[in-house]
Structure 1
Amino acid sequence: MQYLEFKITCTEAYREILIAELSEIGFDSFLETDEGLDAYIQEDVFQREAFMEIIDKYKEAAKISVQEGVMPKVNWNEEWEKNYDPITVGDQVYVRASFHPTKPEFPFEIVINPKMSFGTGHHATTYLMISHQLNLDHQGKRVLDIGAGTGILAIMAHQLGAALVEAFDIDEWCVQNGNENFDLNGMAAVRMGRGTVREVNPQGKFDIVLANINKNVLLDEMEVYSGLIKEQGYLLLSGFYEHDIPDIEKEANSHGLVLIGKKVKDNWAALAMQKI
């Protein structure tokens, strides 16, 4: 299947926002550049009207210009290896690809071979979720990662001492990639499931539930999340903007969840909630 390529020039502050918005309409690969980003989508799923709606929404504020073309067949592994740098979360977590050297001075080291931009820790929501995880006691806990993507949050939970980790995603590619990353991080016994939280129907109660998805899905599934959490257990949420916090908090409150922590980065937000 042929890919369409969009070379987007924009201000740095809007790069992550555009990646998030475009991923919602079918774009599945991104390369960050000095000028902005390159975005790729299969020709048969491209919706021009939806694309232009996003571009027009941010065009003036982000100073956007777009060059459109057709992408020749490409070795995606080579492309992301050229553009993927390791990241750190404070002085605690080092996230790298398998071709990067190790850094033993970090207490936690996560190896992620993502082949795309999401789920590497580079996106603000992933960074914020890991930051929240570092503040929670995972030792001996049951942890559920909903919409797990590359599996990075599940891997973080495992390294923080969780006794049981379950993870799933709606996308088959994520399931395959997540399992590859579990293997790279000594988690061969954990296999990622496929489906929504209602389809997977996880059993039992969990001490910690992680959901880094998007606002609409979080609002729709909040009642389900609450039902999966033990009394005094925790729910970590991200995938929405700072201005969405009141809506997320209101829905969480209606299902017995109270806000205990908030983090913001690049206009994105992540909340720590507790079941009361």
Structure 2
Amino acid sequence: MNDTIYMEYKFLVAPLQPASDILIAELGEVGFESFVEEETGVLAYIQKEEWSENILDGLYILNNGNFDISFTYKEIAQENWNVTWERNFQPILVDDRCMVRAPFHDALNVEYDIIIEPKMSFGTGHHETTHMMLQHILTLELDDKTVLDMGCGTGVLAILASKRGAKELDAIDIDNWCYLNSKENVERNGIGNISVFEGDAALLGERKYDVIIANINRNILLEDIPTYVRCLKKEGVLLVSGFYLEDLLLITEKCHEVGLRFEKNLEKNNWVAAKYVF
């Protein structure tokens, strides 16, 4: 992976919100892998082999007259990207109980201390969806439970679930970089009961879980929720995020179709993380 070339886009966004969140969501749909939110906009990264000069054609947010968005782009080598990422990566504290930090940050005296190497994977806890999923996990009774982290990114959600007492966990991501980064982070945190796989929901087969965590995006969730339910034990819990408040009804309707009951949701800057029970 050391010779991977990325394209770095620097977007200037005004007003910053909600345009930045919409922009990040749309960029993720066309293949951008990672984002750094700045005071004036967003840095976005995509592997050059996945990139084309017209990749932004058709993005709704860039053609919305309510926002002023401009951008420049350039090639950037992997090692230079990591320097940029480290410079922008700050530790976060979730509900005064869970700290997510990089190896170069000092630890605090908290209940759950998670170390994430800040590389290309989504899921440092800074994005609203990851933050809210960490909040959900902090409320669950996970002792001796089996857990699936679908679209695991850095593996941070599975790592917290393990620290909360889960006995056996699977973490799955379709992106090779996320797969490798999750394996590194699982090892870095001294976790021995998380198995990391590269792939999608087709890998699940007949596996069964007490808790399934899926922080992906609306369209994939709508497609894969029936598969998740087939893998969910009776009275199991499904946590989903990666979509906006206006999509909650659609997600809930799909969950109801397959026998899930809505319990609650968290909301942050129009992003939603919802809990359903089987």
Provide the TM-score with structure 1 as the length reference.
Answer: 0.92
How many pairs are equivalent? 273
Alignment correspondent of 1:215? 218
Alignment correspondent of 1:193? 197
Q: RMSD in angstroms over aligned alpha carbons?
A: 1.9
Alignment correspondent of 1:97? 102
Equivalent residue for 2:249, pick from 233, 246, 251: 246
Alignment correspondent of 1:171? 175
Give the percent of matched residue pairs that are identical in Structure 1 and Structure 2. 39
Distance 1:210 1:96, change over 3 A: same
Contact 1:25 1:47 in 2 (8 A): no
User: How much has 1:58 moved relative to structure 2?
Assistant: 6.0
Question: 1:92 & 1:252 partners in 2: Cα distance?
Answer: 30
Question: 2:90 & 2:130 partners in 1: Cα distance?
Answer: 15
User: How much has 1:88 moved relative to structure 2?
Assistant: 1.2
SS of aligned partner of 2:118:
coil
Question: 1:272 & 1:266 partners in 2: Cα distance?
Answer: 18
Contact 2:266 2:274 in 1 (8 A): yes
Contact 1:93 1:108 in 2 (8 A): yes
Alignment correspondent of 1:145? 149
What is the one-letter code of the residue matched to 1:227?
A: R
1:53 matched to 2:64: no
1:31 matched to 2:36: yes
User: How much has 1:19 moved relative to structure 2?
Assistant: 2.1
Structure 1 residue runs without a partner (length 5+): none
Contact 1:31 1:116 in 2 (8 A): no
Question: 2:125 & 2:241 partners in 1: Cα distance?
Answer: 13
Equivalent residue for 1:40, pick from 18, 33, 45: 45
Question: 1:230 & 1:72 partners in 2: Cα distance?
Answer: 45
Question: 1:26 & 1:136 partners in 2: Cα distance?
Answer: 33
Alignment correspondent of 2:12? 9
Contact 2:23 2:61 in 1 (8 A): no
Equivalent residue for 1:120, pick from 108, 117, 124: 124
Question: 1:216 & 1:114 partners in 2: Cα distance?
Answer: 27
